[in-house]
Amino acid sequence: MQKIDAPTRKLPVQEAANFLGLSKSWLDKRRLFGGGPHYLKLGRRVVYDLRDLENWAIGKKRRNTSQVS
């Protein structure tokens, strides 16, 4: 059985972009081509779990410019 964590806030695309300091269009393109944070599709709505945004951002940490992405 899968453990269910406490629910976290879900952000619409524009708020998620603001949270990450990115443009809405960047997130839109990453949903199409890949490479962005996980998202949820709820009917026609696209939302981002705040925990997924934080984990994705943490995964982008680098020590120097020559480090492979």
Residue 1, pLDDT above cutoff 70: no
In a domain, 64, yes or no: no
Residue 54 in tokens: 């934080």
In a domain, 67, yes or no: no
Confidence of residue 14 (pLDDT cuts 50, 70, 90): very high
Are 43 and 10 a contacting pair, CB within 8 Å? no
Q: Look at residues 22, 52, 23 and name the one whose alpha carbon lies nearest to residue 37.
A: 52
Which pLDDT score is estimated for 66? 85
In a domain, 37, yes or no: yes
Which pLDDT score is estimated for 67? 75
User: Cα separation of 52 and 30, whole Å?
Assistant: 14
In a domain, 33, yes or no: yes
In a domain, 65, yes or no: no
Confidence of residue 68 (pLDDT cuts 50, 70, 90): confident
Q: What is the pLDDT of residues 30-65, one digit of tens each?
A: 999 999 999 999 999 999 999 999 999 999 888 898
pTM over 0.85: no
Which structural domain, as residue segments, surrounds residue 42?
A: 10-58
In a domain, 1, yes or no: no
- Tally of domains within the chain: 1
